[in-house]
């Protein structure tokens, strides 16, 4: 079956389901380059035309999209992503949603569409013989009393199951909601910080997981609102506590074969896996402004709060940037690399695409993987780390953006359109932050004079 035939079949199934289940409105979803979910709704009578021709909209009002003189864009729904929104299912008429690919008026893929960036990365992997780029991100988040201040609901800790954990029912309802959206969940638990939680999705292929990550974030927020709470994916909302990360498990497959596994290697890692990890380590500083995209991200990426800042890999050491979980016999397909530096506020399409490109670059150019470091990197002095050849991530958004601005790899991964706009936006964000005068500065420096 051709791609066109498959799309036509899926479109027919969506139209039939809309009719059978009395779906009145369909929300068309896409993201701007910062990873903010955008949406507009159409009625069921418009759906057939939308699936065939797409729906026009003004792209000049979307962050990072076109200038006003080039504003006409087309949102083409992807019928494989159709789902009914559980938080609207109790109404008389149901509401569905589909992710969209953004096209230019002449129906070419729009280079400013983050979903297209992910598609291009996966196509490069396919050309190199890899059919699947499997991802399993673990998104952490905080649950607060409201969106007005970071006021915690409990004082629970890691894996706590006590009366302190008032989020148990909330997490249960999140699982039910995600399941209804077609997103299977592996497990849920209370995280290290007070009022901090984690719900882990089962792994999926690259584009689907980027879509699932966007869905996860809005679903968690919707469930929190129904419980009278506010969920935030802000990386570091609480001073003195751990921030929220998005540890991301990755593997490449050729058909059903895990290209990362080698039974004869001392680490059970293939040459492909080693080069892939080496690529991500070599380019980690350049990617930082994508996987840690905000001023606040770098308040999480500091030693002492379980966030990895040192560019190294390990099997058991969670202070390293990339961890390779220990192999268990019979679990060859589970061989994977877990990169621990991303945070859940990032644009998943751009982040996953850039991570894939960095790994593929390592494979293509035959990067050598250094020896693993099993010592706690936080316990080493800076001089000791330098002697071991261990670099560290940028310490601020400003430093990260300038690293990215010099990166040929990231420019190729994102395309010139998104690359230049993203750099400009992040430079503006850093400049705006630099001129702020914080309460900490007033308290510390006002008495000095």
Residue located via tokens 């109790």: 90
Structural tokens at position 7: 């799309």
Closest alpha carbon to 120 in 424, 414, 416, 317: 414
Q: Which of 78, 113, 154, 191 is catalytic?
A: 191
Candidates 17, 119, 318, 427; catalytic one = 318
b/e map of 352-367 (b: 16 or more CB within 10 Å)? bbbbbbbbbbbbeeeb
Give the integer Cα–Cα distance in Å for 154 and 151.
9
- Expressed in percent and rounded to 5, the helix, strand and coil fractions of the chain are 40, 20, 35
Q: Which of 6, 52, 58, 432 is catalytic?
A: 58
- Please identify which of the residues 115, 247, 285, 421 carries the catalytic annotation: 247
Q: How far is CA 297 from CA 10, 220, 233, 344, 397, in A?
A: 39, 20, 11, 10, 8
Catalytic-residue membership of 368: no
428 is catalytic: no
Q: Which of 113, 173, 198, 343 is catalytic?
A: 198
Which of 430, 442, 187 has the alpha carbon at shortest distance from 289? Answer: 430
Concerning whether 306 is annotated as a catalytic residue, the answer is: no
The residues near 161 (Cβ < 8 Å, ≥ 6 apart) are: 168, 190
Rounded-to-integer distance, Cα 415 and Cα 393, Å: 23
Q: Which two tokens stand for residue 11?
A: 């479109």
> Measuring CA to CA, which residue among 354, 340, 357 is closest to residue 289?
354
Given the residues 338, 343, 361, 403, select the one marked as catalytic. Answer: 338
**Catalytic choice (32, 113, 138, 403):** 138
Which residues, in sequence order, are CB contacts of 226 under 8 Å at separation 6+? 87, 173
User: Which tokens go with 266?
Assistant: 């001392």
Alpha-carbon span 298 to 305, nearest angstrom: 12
- Is residue 432 part of the annotated active site? The answer reads no
Q: Is 198 part of the annotated catalytic residue set? A: yes
Which two tokens mark 283? 């380019």
- Tokens encoding 195: 């009022």
Cβ proximity of 56 and 85 under 8 Å: no
d(CA 195, CA 166): 8
Q: Is 411 a catalytic residue?
A: no
Catalytic status, residue 257: no
The catalytic site residues sit at: 58, 138, 140, 191, 198, 247, 318, 338, 340
């Amino acid at each position: 079956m051709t791609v066109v035939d498959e799309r036509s079949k899926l479109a027919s199934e969506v139209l039939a389901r809309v009719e059978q289940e009395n779906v009145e409105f369909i929300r068309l979803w896409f993201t701007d380059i910062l990873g903010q979910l955008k949406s507009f709704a159409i009625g069921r009578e418009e759906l057939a035309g939308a699936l065939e021709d797409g729906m026009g909209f003004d792209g000049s009002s979307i962050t990072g999209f076109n200038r006003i003189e080039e504003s006409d864009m087309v949102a083409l729904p992807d019928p494989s992503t159709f789902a009914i929104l559980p938080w609207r299912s109790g109404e008389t008429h149901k509401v569905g949603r589909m992710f969209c690919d953004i096209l230019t008026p002449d129906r070419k893929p729009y280079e400013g569409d983050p979903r297209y960036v992910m598609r291009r990365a996966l196509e490069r992997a396919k050309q190199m013989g890899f059919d699947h780029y499997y991802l399993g991100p673990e998104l952490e988040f905080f649950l607060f009393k409201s969106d007005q201040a970071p006021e915690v609901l409990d004082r629970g800790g890691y894996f706590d199951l006590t009366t302190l954990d008032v989020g148990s029912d909330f997490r249960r309802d999140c699982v039910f909601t995600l399941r209804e959206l077609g997103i299977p969940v592996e497990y849920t638990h209370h995280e290290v910080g007070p009022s901090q939680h984690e719900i882990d999705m089962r792994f999926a292929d690259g584009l689907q997981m980027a879509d699932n990550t966007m869905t996860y974030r809005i679903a968690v927020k919707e469930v929190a609102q129904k419980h009278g709470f506010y969920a935030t994916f802000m990386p570091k909302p609480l001073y003195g506590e751990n921030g929220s990360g998005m540890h991301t498990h990755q593997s490449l497959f050729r058909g059903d074969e895990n290209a990362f596994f080698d039974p004869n290697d001392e680490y059970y890692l293939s040459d492909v896996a080693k080069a892939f990890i080496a690529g991500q380590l070599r380019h980690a500083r350049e990617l930082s402004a994508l996987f840690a995209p905000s001023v606040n991200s770098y308040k999480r990426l500091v030693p002492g709060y379980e966030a990895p800042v040192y560019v190294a890999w390990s099997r058991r050491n969670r202070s390293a940037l990339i961890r390779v979980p220990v192999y268990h016999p019979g679990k060859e397909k589970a061989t994977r690399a877990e990169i621990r530096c991303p945070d859940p506020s990032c644009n998943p399409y751009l982040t996953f695409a850039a991570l894939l490109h960095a790994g593929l670059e390592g494979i293509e150019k035959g990067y050598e993987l250094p020896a693993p470091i099993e010592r706690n990197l936080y316990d080493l002095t800076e001089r000791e780390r330098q002697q071991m050849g261990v670099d560290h991530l940028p310490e601020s958004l400003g430093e990260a953006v300038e690293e990215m601005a010099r990166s040929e790899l990231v420019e190729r991964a994102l395309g010139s359109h998104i690359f230049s706009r993203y750099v400009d936006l992040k430079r503006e964000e850093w400049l705006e932050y630099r001129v702020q005068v914080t309460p900490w500065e007033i308290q510390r420096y006002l008495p000095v004079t």
